[in-house]
Amino acid sequence: MEGYLQRILRARVYDVAQITPLELAPNLSARLGQQVWLKREDLQPVFSFKLRGAFNKMVQLTVEQRQQGVIAASAGNHAQGVALAAQKLGCHAVIVMPLTTPRTKVEAVQRRGAEVVLHGDTYDEAHEEARKLELERGLCFIHPFDDPDVIAGQGTIGLEILRQCPEPPAAIYLAVGGGGLIAGVGAYVKSLWPQVEIIGVEPVDADAMTRSLAAGKRICLEQVGLFADGVAVRQVGVETFRLAQEVVDRMITVDSDAICAAIKDVFEDTRSILEPAGALAIAGLKADASRRPKGQQLVAVACGANMNFERLRFVAERAELGEEREAMFAVEIPEGPGHLRQFCRLLGQHNLTEFSYRMAAGAKAQIFIGVQILNRADADALAKKLINGGFACVDLSGNELAKLHLRHMVGGRLPQPHKSDGAAQELLYRFEFPEKPGALMAFVEELNPNWNISIFHYRNQGSDVGRIVVGVQVPPHELSHWQQFLDQLKVPCTNETDNPAYQLFLV
């Protein structure tokens, strides 16, 4: 800890980095009953804090090392930080990026004069290639987080926060990927103001630090969610974990909807759009604020704004769900005159965001609706009102199949044969795969031509991962082959055959 205090005080970052403002978020503060301060690292020249650690590491290399050149593996913010630092120091930089990296991020790195090597579908594959090139070409590897000089560079954010706060804050919330940011900020803050809480925030599907701290050892995740790609790390660093054990008070996990809501909150207060990882700390602060005494000084580091424009559609759709301002319901309505009108009257003053209805052959039909609500209590009250009015109702607000696919799909039902007939039964699965040219068609090619595809829905959401839902008719005697197909595919998949949304609308 004492060693890091000295490292941070001596860190060289301001040749490229700016002292970013600490701004009050008035709307968010009023809503939460707290004094919410945003540390605006999204305003850095590369729209992320990563240039601090990269430059502090590279400026301390020997002249010979810089002449030889540096190499890094990154899909985004670290890549731009290394490229800018290399440009400033006049050395050659090679950045290995996954093939799935959006073109805008690749071009941003190339504009800084760095050489880009595209390799692999994931960060891990890009990292392996970078270490290989490091040896082949005699380059110096710049680690994105697990390096004392990188950690010290990120720690200068903590130095600035304590200088800018009118008084020591009650807590500082930080996004956690590999752990460099929270290790650096935590080491500085705890050295001077140990009573300030250091709270890490991770996505629920990329919670390597949360699990590691709970287990007392580094845990390697089998797979990670890619929505907040800036923190999609399977295993935290050795040094960052050691420091986190000393300086981190608590960890919080949040889902994608909460992150989207936080992006919207920051936009409403600043008119800036953060990337998912950049809004992670704000989402964690919001989740934690209700458990704290009112009126506290709370700081969240807005750590990045390298957002893909195409992803905004997804963020806008999910923000209302994350803020609990929209609910989605499946409502059973009798087929017959007057029932639809009666249903609409029960909705009262609730504004509809979505309404999908298709006449059914039987006595009842299912309606899929999105409704604006005040909060979860309002949604529960509306559901109860509909049920009391004679309309069976299922809340789908937390159903991923419904949120990702069903709300965008054309209605229709497939006649289901009896299992006793020995005919193929329909199975429904959700898949995620690295988004790159030809990936969708490659997935389709892997399917056995004897299996009839009965449902297929894919929607480009401007992210590094493609999401599809597939209905496939597999004969009973080939179910073992289907399982082998799933095992060999090596992409995340979820069996949705028993999902109530599927059962209500597509069976």
Predicted pLDDT of residue 462: 54
Mean pLDDT over 458-486 rounds to 79
What pLDDT does 418 receive?
A: 52
Task: Give 393's strand partners.
Answer: 331
Does residue 102 share a domain with residue 68? yes
Choosing from 281, 299, 320, the residue where a domain stops is 320
Quick one: pLDDT band at residue 262, thresholds 50, 70, 90?
very high
For the chain, give the number of residues: 507
Lowest mean pLDDT among 157-171, 248-262, 275-289, 343-357: 343-357
Q: Which residues pair with 346 in a beta bridge?
A: none
Q: Which residues contact 343 (CB under 8 A, 6 or more apart)?
A: 331, 333, 367, 386, 389, 391
Specify whether 315 is located in the same domain as 369: no
More confident residue, 397 or 89: 89
36 & 65 share domain: no
Which of 346, 367, 398 marks a domain boundary?
Answer: 398
Looking at the structure, tell me whether residues 189 and 242 fall in a common domain: yes
Look at residue 233 and tell me if it is in a domain: yes
| Whether 464 and 355 share a structural domain | no
Residue 35 lies in a domain: yes
Q: What is the pLDDT confidence band of residue 23, given thresholds at 50, 70 and 90?
A: very high
% of the chain beyond a pLDDT of 90 = 57
Is the pLDDT assigned to residue 126 strictly greater than 70? yes
Residue 378 lies in a domain: yes
Report the side by side order of strands in the sheet with 352-357: 352-357, 364-372, 326-334, 393-395
pLDDT value at residue 275:
94
pLDDT value of residue 357: 67
Q: Do residues 112 and 184 both lie within one domain?
A: no
CATH number for the domain harbouring residue 485: 3.40.1020.10
* Pair (94, 57) in one structural domain: yes
Residue 303: inside a domain, yes or no? Answer: yes
Is residue 461 pLDDT above 70, yes or no?
no
HEC string for 124-145: HHHHHHHHHHHHHHCCEECCCC
Note whether 296 and 246 are same-domain residues.
yes
User: Which of 320, 346, 371 lies at the terminal end of a domain, its last residue?
Assistant: 320
How many domains does one find in the chain? 4
Q: CA 483, 488, 494, 496 torsion: positive or negative? A: negative
At 59-71, the pLDDT tens digits run 999 999 999 999 9
Instruction: Convert the pLDDT of each residue in 362-418 to its tens digit.
Output: 677 778 888 888 888 999 999 999 999 989 999 998 888 888 888 777 566 666 555
Same domain flag for 197 and 59: no
Q: What percent of the chain has pLDDT over 70?
A: 92
Mean per-residue pLDDT of the chain: 88
Residue 100, domain extent: 50-141
Question: Does the residue 381 lie in any domain?
Answer: yes
- Give pLDDT, residue 421: 54
Residue 407 lies in a domain: no
Same domain, 284 and 198: yes
Residue 349: pLDDT band (50, 70, 90) is confident
Which tokens sit at 100?
């799935």
Angstrom distance (rounded) from CA 67 to CA 85: 14
pLDDT band at 290 (very low <50, low <70, confident <90, very high): very high
Asked whether the predicted pLDDT for residue 459 surpasses 70, the reply is no
Distance CA 38, CA 305 (A): 13
Query: Minimal CA–CA distance to 42: which of 237, 273, 255, 227?
Result: 273
pLDDT surpassing 90 at residue 130 = yes
Question: Residue 402 has what pLDDT?
Answer: 84
CB 55 within 8 A of CB 152: no
Quick one: pLDDT at residue 1? Answer: 66
Tell me the per-residue pLDDT of 193-241, one tens digit each, with 9 for 90 and over.
999 999 999 999 999 999 999 999 999 998 888 788 889 889 999 999 9
* Residue 357 lies inside a defined structural domain of this protein: yes
Both 215 and 249 in one domain: the answer is yes
Residue 91 is assigned to a structural domain of this protein: yes
- The CATH number of whichever domain residue 206 belongs to comes to 3.40.50.1100
Mean pLDDT along residues 428-434? 84
Same domain, 260 and 333: no
**Confidence (pTM):** 0.78
What is the number of other CB atoms lying within 10 angstroms of the CB of residue 3? 10
